[in-house]
Amino acid sequence: MATEVILPKVDMDMTTGQISKWFFENGATVKKGDVLFEIETDKAAMEIDAPASGVLRDIMAAEGIDIAVGSPVAWIYEEGEPYVAAPQAGASANPCTSMLETPSTSNERSTERTTSERSDTRATPLARRLARDCGIDIGLIFGSGPKGRVIRADVENYSTDMPPSEAETELQAKALPDASNSEPVLQLFEQGTYERIAHTNMRRTIARRLVEAKSTVPHFYLTLDCHIDAMLKLRAELNASAPEREGKPVYRLSVNDMVIKAYALALKAVPEANVSWTNDNLIRHNRADIGVAVSVTGGLITPIVRNAELKTLSTISREMIDLGIRAREGKLKPSEYQGGTAAISNLGMFGVREFAAIVNPPHATILAVGSGERRAVVERDAIVAATLMTVTLSSDHRAVDGALGAQLIGAFKDYIQKPMSLLV
């Protein structure tokens, strides 16, 4: 019996995906484990293996087209197995028929049907495309999905003869003109003075998640300065004494490696802050999995150093080098960037002195790290030079209160200013 090949769910938030590349054509012989195709997710490109050996037939998903998770994209027939063509996309009844073939006695609501589309309406890509194909303004459809998101069933169940519900009426009354549409913006600029750059899946996901985070997470911020001369001295000594292999040191510690270890130890020292908020429970974690923001083409991704409080600085350094390289190549596995108990964003290498980052759930905190710079400070009534690093802790106030946040950032400062504690 032919084996169905489906589009798998490879990301926690994934409802649709795109096949960016097929490695085999219809009629090709494949072996179980061969890479069949590559999926473009919001955060990476994932290679999907053949689930069986045989002849690949009925490739139904073209490259670059949104496909619902779980949908069949091809079939693999055993050698010599009789071939029965699979139903092609569009062979089933037109889902628009029941929605658009309405009696002539339709009420006035049927005249609202239009091919225009509100980009500020929450909707899945599949629902948005179906509404567009059926000539329905998706802004008129009441969403039953999470946070009012319009899903496929809402579009399929939409009837132009049905009077609007109270919820729909209220939703439409609150609707504002689409300020995010590009056309009104482009009218402000002279033709030929700009270029349009299409949003990538990653950029759209970053925008969506950060808007949700900033809109729904009550942030507060705590900032302090850390003296890092002792840490810089220890780092230099450790790098100078690093063993060599084939003429090269086996590790080279960065300031970021030491920051990761210090923050992990601080979370273990203040376990009440090592938490995640849900509407049902406060989840307290028993280990420190630190997400570290890494800049990649078109956005950023946050690979995770698991159990960072238990790892040596050299281990953290090697892991971060590996994770950073594979993040920029788009080769991280979902398990390497999903989850985490807290995060770090370091812009010090760009000369940024101080900034505040946005908490990205399920994290309850994120530490923004600025550059180390020589400044004049007062010690025992004398002005002396010292190297200071400004850090800002952003916290989800639902899970972490002000005093608790102060304990956490204070513990981090203690570990940074007493760097030998990072080696214990």
Quote the percentage of the chain above a pLDDT of 70.
Answer: 81
| Residue 390, token pair as written in the block | 């400004």
In sequence order, the 6+-apart residues with CB closer than 8 A to the CB of 419 are 230, 231, 234, 235, 258
Active site members = 397
Residue scoring higher pLDDT (107 or 137):
137
Q: Report the C-alpha gap between 343 and 366 in whole angstroms.
A: 5
> pLDDT tens digit string along 389-419?
999 999 999 999 999 999 999 999 999 999 9
The predicted structure's pLDDT at residue 17: 80
Q: What are phi and psi of 157, to 5 degrees?
A: -90, -5
21, β-bridge pairs: 38
The gap between the terminal CA atoms of the chain, to the nearest Å, is: 59
Q: What are phi and psi of 200, to 5 degrees?
A: -85, 165
pLDDT higher than 70, residue 5: yes
Please give the sequence-ordered ranges of beta strands (E in DSSP) within 158-277, or none if there are none.
219-227, 244-245, 248-249, 275-277
Q: Report the C-alpha gap between 402 and 397 in whole angstroms.
A: 8
pLDDT higher than 80, residue 112: no
Residue scoring higher pLDDT (318 or 183):
318
| Residue 292, token pair as written in the block | 């570290």
Q: Report the C-alpha gap between 80 and 95 in whole angstroms.
A: 36
- Do the beta carbons of residue 370 and residue 348 sit within 8 Å? yes
* Long-range contact pairs involving 279-287 (C-beta distance under 8 Å, separation at least 24): 282/399, 283/362, 285/341, 287/341
> pLDDT tens digit string along 210-230?
898 999 999 999 999 999 999
> pLDDT tens digit string along 134-156?
778 777 777 776 666 777 777 77
The predicted structure's pLDDT at residue 117: 45
The predicted structure's pLDDT at residue 159: 54
Q: Report residue 101's pLDDT band, with 50, 70 and 90 as the boundaries.
A: very low
pLDDT higher than 80, residue 209: yes
Distances (CA, A) of 401 to 218, 358, 407, 418: 11, 16, 10, 26
The predicted structure's pLDDT at residue 183: 78
> pLDDT tens digit string along 356-365?
999 999 999 9
In sequence order, the 6+-apart residues with CB closer than 8 A to the CB of 351 are 371
| Mean per-residue pLDDT over the chain, rounded | 83
- Do the beta carbons of residue 300 and residue 206 sit within 8 Å? yes
Q: Report the C-alpha gap between 135 and 112 in whole angstroms.
A: 10
pLDDT higher than 50, residue 172: no
- Do the beta carbons of residue 139 and residue 177 sit within 8 Å? no
Q: Report the C-alpha gap between 86 and 352 in whole angstroms.
A: 57
Q: Report the C-alpha gap between 72 and 93 in whole angstroms.
A: 18
Q: What are phi and psi of 221, to 5 degrees?
A: -130, 140
Go through 368-397 and write b for each residue having 16 or more CB atoms within 10 A of its CB, e for each that does not.
bbbbbeeeeeeeeeeeeeebbbbbbbbbbe
- Do the beta carbons of residue 350 and residue 369 sit within 8 Å? no
Q: In degrees, to the nearest 5, what angle opens at C-alpha 177 toward C-alphas 174 and 179?
A: 125
Q: Is 204 left (phi over 0), alpha (psi -120 to 50) or beta?
A: alpha
* Long-range contact pairs involving 58-65 (C-beta distance under 8 Å, separation at least 24): 58/26, 58/85, 58/86, 58/88, 59/22, 59/25, 59/26, 60/86, 60/88, 60/89, 61/7, 61/19, 62/19, 63/18, 63/19, 63/20, 63/21, 63/22, 64/18, 64/19, 64/20, 65/18, 65/19
Query: How many CA atoms are closer than 13 Å to the CA of 352, on its beta-carbon side?
Result: 15
Q: Report residue 350's pLDDT band, with 50, 70 and 90 as the boundaries.
A: very high
pTM beyond 0.75: the answer is no
Widest Cα–Cα separation across the chain: 90
The predicted structure's pLDDT at residue 146: 61
Q: What is the DSSP secondary structure assignment for residue 11, as one 8-state letter?
A: S
Q: Quick one: which of 388, 380, 411 has its CA closest to 232?
A: 388
- Report the pLDDT averaged over residues 264-293: 96
CATH numbers and ranges of domains, the chain: 3-77 (2.40.50.100), 97-196 (4.10.320.10), 219-422 (3.30.559.10)
In sequence order, the 6+-apart residues with CB closer than 8 A to the CB of 381 are none
Distances (CA, A) of 186 to 190, 192, 204, 207: 8, 11, 20, 20
The predicted structure's pLDDT at residue 266: 98
